[in-house]
Amino acid sequence: MAVMKMVALTMVGPHEEMESVARRIVLSGGFQPMPIDFLINDRTLRSRITTESDNPYDELVSKMSTVWRVAGEEIPDPVPIPLDSGFSYHKAKRLVEETTRKLETWGTRRETLMEELERLEATKTYVEALSALDMKPRELSEAQFAVARFGRISSDNFNRLEETTIDAPILAVELSRHDDSVWILVFTVPGYKEGSQKILDAVYFKEFSLSEITNRLSSDDPLKQVEHSIEFHKRSIKGLEEATANILNENRDEFEKLYSRVYTMQRVYDLCKGRGEIGGMYVLSGWIPEDTYLGIKDSIERDAPRTSITVEQVKNVASSGMRIPTMLRNNKVFRAFQDVVALYSVPSYGEIDPSPFVAITFILFFGFMFGDVGHGILLWLGATYMGKKNILNRSLAYVMKCASCSSVVFGLLYGSAMGVEFPEYALWLSPMHDTDELFAVAIVFGIVMISVGMILNMVIRYRERDFGKLLFDGQGLAGLFVYWGSAVAIYVSFAGAELPFPVTYLWYVIAAVLLLTLFRDTLARTLLRQKVESESTALQVFEVVHNLMNYFTNTASFVRLAAFALNHVALSLAVMLLSKMMERVWGGIFLKILVLVLGNLFIVGMEGLIVFIQVLRLEYYEFFGKFYRGGGNVFKPVTWKKDRSFQKF
């Protein structure tokens, strides 16, 4: 369905061509590198292959980020840009050094000033605290009977420190607070110096040396001296930022273009650095979707005429034992439900992707169990809010919004709004008045759902050329006939309907087909000439009985669709009755409104969660159990985007 066909792509070529090829592959966003050991089994040859571990472009990207860091601006987001084949590492390094030579010096100076400014602000806090106690800075640093430490710690860690040192010879004194930081003095006895250091390290205490602080103070008015130094450092930092900002504004387009070019080469090298190198030739191999490869094949062959390209089909690769990654591609509606499937397991390569079936049935079943116009709208608003606040990820928020729309539709069909039923306005059924019909529809949904699962299982067996299980297995054609035949026979028996022949004959045929499933392996060997390993008779009998029981238990499980539809009405009635009872007490109108609001929110939140879980249960056990295996590896291509947390400032 949506599992994309993959090919194993291997390229061997010279350095200048391989970088061009890798650059195009990175921008395509659809290539997952493969270990070099998978390609080359010869140990002698493999020992001659060298690989790179460090990326030289990391340093260039870091240097380019200095331009914006010194100017006090956010580092811009790089954009993919085409690069000519002559843009090599040496050329990139020369351009970056020419651009950042002066700015890098300014950046180093700015960082030094920032560190010094932090120490000065710590000194100011220390001097102010001691002045309030009428003490001089040197008194603590030169103390002989106690060891004093001064520094900063977070509020949470300060609380932890106080709890930890209750029974230890340590005293932590709070001096001041700023945002989430607490400036403290820590005292301990000389014999417990090492022990106190371990405790302080555990709570991430940042210490400022008291001896350095006191040595820096030379005037009679140390506070004034420190404040003067702080102002000088702030002016110096601001001057550097303004000078850098002027240069940046004059050359912004050029700097951003160079930054994007270097960043692009960094991503290219990330893809290439796992390659093998032998005799000046580079080896690059990995998985790529077939349609992505066909889209870039001609351009690769044109740009890399000396590069050898080998494409292996999956059927040739699978025999090596390498697990082929799974890449799913669905439309917008079905794509969000891939995460619902992944909660169970990712499809293995070549398996049917159940996402489209899950999308349709999930929306249908949720609305069936939670049909209410008002509650559906509240659920949609809640899902939208949690999606915007990142409480729910984007796909799950989309799933819940689809489910809430289904609730609104079924609310119209049921004639239900905010827990109140209006049977006269029902477009289809009223749960409280058409209970029998509701349960009958739930059973029909179950029969259809289970039948689709068995048909998908037969499709898989056909792909695997396992015709024995396709025809004679309890989950195959024989099992499907037994299931449908039993459903018809039970309906005729209970509903009093008539068939062209006695229903007893149908039971005889069902029993005969069920007996065929007992001899599944024997029939596959004799009639289909298929090589099948025989199972013990006891195991085959158990499997037949198990399948027969599953037909009924799985179908009966779908009764929960109708049961939860009734449960929704019952909960809503309970809230309405409770709110009506509030009219008899003092402040009844206010309490009634409060009960109605809280009660409906509870129904939307709690019952919505329960219905969500119940729908998942129907999907995972009653549906997936018929055909789905899972256990796939997610396709993880090298993409152009990269985490740039190391560049933050």
Residues of the chain with pLDDT under 70: 1, 35-53, 82-86, 133-134, 137, 139, 141-144, 218-220, 271-280, 314-322, 534-535, 640-649
HSE, CB side, 13 Å, CA atoms: give it for residue 488.
18
Report residue 639 as tokens: 């993409």
| Res 76: pLDDT | 86
| Res 141: pLDDT | 67
Report residue 23 as tokens: 């650059």
User: What is the Rg, in whole angstroms, of the alpha carbon atoms belonging to the chain?
Assistant: 36
Instruction: Give the model confidence (pLDDT) of 123-157 as tens digits.
Output: 888 787 777 766 776 767 666 677 888 888 888 88
Long-range contacts of 481-487 (CB under 8 A, 24+ apart): 481/510, 481/513, 482/510, 482/513, 482/514, 482/517, 482/548, 482/551, 483/447, 483/450, 483/451, 483/454, 483/551, 484/451, 485/509, 485/510, 485/513, 486/510, 486/551, 487/447, 487/555
Handedness of CA 129, 131, 137, 141 (dihedral sign): negative
Task: Print burial letters for 362-371: b (CB count within 10 Å at least 16), e (below 16).
Answer: bbbbbbbbbb
Sequence spans of domains, the chain: 112-236, 332-626
Cα 136 from chain centroid (whole Å) = 56
Percentage of residues in the chain with pLDDT exceeding 70?
A: 89
Q: Measured between alpha carbons, how far is 470 from 648 in angstroms, rounded to an integer?
A: 58
**Other Cβ atoms closer than 10 A to 381:** 13
| pTM of this structure | 0.70
Instruction: Give residue for tokens 């905010």.
Output: 418
| Res 314: pLDDT | 66
Write the CATH number of the domain with boundaries 112-236: 3.30.70.2750
